[in-house]
Amino acid sequence: AQSVTQLDSHVSVSEGTPVLLRCNYSSSYSPSLFWYVQHPNKGLQLLLKYTSAATLVKGINGFEAEFKKSETSFHLTKPSAHMSDAAEYFCVVSDLGGYQKVTFGIGTKLQVIP
Amino acid sequence: NAGVMQNPRHLVRRRGQEARLRCSPMKGHSHVYWYRQLPEEGLKFMVYLQKENIIDESGMPKERFSAEFPKEGPSILRIQQVVRGDSAAYFCASSTKTGGQETQYFGPGTRLLVL
């Protein structure tokens, strides 16, 4: 069984300050982990993914995430927030066992204050 | 290479009517997944299909919902006799193959409103 916990439903940051969106997971197998972003009334766009290679993963738009097995975490960070980063972010886990069946976190809404 | 296509983007139905949601996967993708996003909730897995086969429908409600992915044409998610609780955004994703490392690419979603 697998699960994802996004610890914050809402995060608010000022433009130009760092972003931290937290995600913890549980998985029976070696997981793949993803972050997706959803802008209002839009589909989901893949930001980055971890698939057992480097533990620090760099994604699009300056985002990155670090896989920490000991903490079962995959937090998303960005050094400096931009107004266009305001959106909802989903952490996703997928077991390697069997076929791909992903589990989504509940999402974190990021607000960027000018 | 066009992305995953879904239509319609918005669908309004009255209670008791049928809703048909279509998904055309990315070119070369033979695996399709449907998810439902209820207001203020994350995405919930509904069904996983390959061409002409339903692989896993463990997330589908037992009644009124069905899905298919025919040899030719788009995947269809069908909801019969819709109720207000079916109002949600329905997302389709596709991938080239299965396996945990394979990325799913999402369509823009169909937003269903049941009056």
Question: What pLDDT score does A19 carry?
Answer: 97
Q: Check if A43 contacts B (Cβ < 8 Å).
A: yes
Pairing of strands B10-13, B110-114: parallel
Whether A77 and A68 have beta carbons less than 8 Å apart is answered as: no
pLDDT grade, residue B43 (50/70/90)? Answer: confident
Q: Output phi, psi for A41, to 5 deg.
A: 60, 25
Give kind and range of the element (H or E) at residue B79.
Answer: strand B75-79
Reported as a single tens digit per residue, the pLDDT across A43-94 is 788 899 887 778 899 999 999 999 998 999 999 999 999 999 999 999 998 8
Reported as a single tens digit per residue, the pLDDT across B17-35 is 999 999 999 988 889 999 9
Reported as a single tens digit per residue, the pLDDT across B58-100 is 889 989 999 999 999 999 999 999 999 999 999 999 988 765 5
Question: What pLDDT score does A43 carry?
Answer: 79
Residue A88 CA to residue A43 CA, distance in Å, equals 11
Q: Output phi, psi for B62, to 5 deg.
A: -70, -30
Three-class DSSP category at A81: coil
For residue A1, give both structure tokens: 């069984």
- Chain A residues with CB under 8 Å of B43 CB are 44, 90, 104
Alpha-carbon distance values, B55 to A65, A69, B44 (Å): 32, 30, 16
Residue A26 CA to residue A54 CA, distance in Å, equals 19
Q: Which of A97, A102, A103 sits opposite B104 (nearest CB)?
A: A102
* Surface of A (52-71) touching B: CB under 8 A: 52
Residue contact A100–B98, C-beta within 8 A: yes
Question: What pLDDT score does A31 carry?
Answer: 82
